[in-house]
Amino acid sequence: MQAWICIWPQIVGKDCMKYSKACKNGTISMERLDDAVRRILRVKIASGIFEKGLPSSRLNAGDESKLALPENRKIARSAVRESLVLLKNNNQTLPIDPSKIFCNWRWS
């Protein structure tokens, strides 16, 4: 089974070690990892993120007061509804460790 690889920027150090080990032991191929990174970079380039400067230099950088505004919460809820994935793991078919599942409802 080839699972979709997601790399979370907040834990990039842990991800690098995990994916390096997985490539070395044959769990995933280097081509599969390259594909995941390529997809991430494609989205970042298309969004113009590399031309926008560092996040800390952008308008409202560090201002969390706008996160809880009603209009922003509405957008966040819509994004969550449109991107929600529910997996049913009958007979433990999927290699999912329940202790490693994260769900954050703080801003939804």
47 within a domain of the structure (yes/no): yes
76 within a domain of the structure (yes/no): yes
- Report pLDDT for 56: 83
Q: What are phi and psi of 105, to 5 degrees?
A: -105, 5
93 within a domain of the structure (yes/no): yes
- The distance of Cα 71 from the centroid of its chain, to the nearest Å, equals 23
What is the full per-residue pLDDT of the chain (108 aa) written as tens digits?
345 555 555 556 677 788 888 889 988 888 888 888 888 889 888 888 888 888 788 888 888 887 778 998 898 888 878 877 767 777 877 777 777 776 666 544
89-98: b (≥16 Cβ within 10 Å) or e: eeeeeeeeee
3 within a domain of the structure (yes/no): no
- Report pLDDT for 51: 86
2 within a domain of the structure (yes/no): no
**Domain range enclosing 88:** 9-100
26 within a domain of the structure (yes/no): yes
107 within a domain of the structure (yes/no): no
- Report pLDDT for 1: 39
- Report pLDDT for 86: 67
How far apart are alpha carbons 14 and 31 in whole angstroms? 20
3-state SS class at 26: coil
The number of distinct structural domains making up the chain is 1
Asked if 28 and 20 touch (Cβ cutoff 8 Å), the reply is no
Asked if 1 and 28 touch (Cβ cutoff 8 Å), the reply is no
81 within a domain of the structure (yes/no): yes
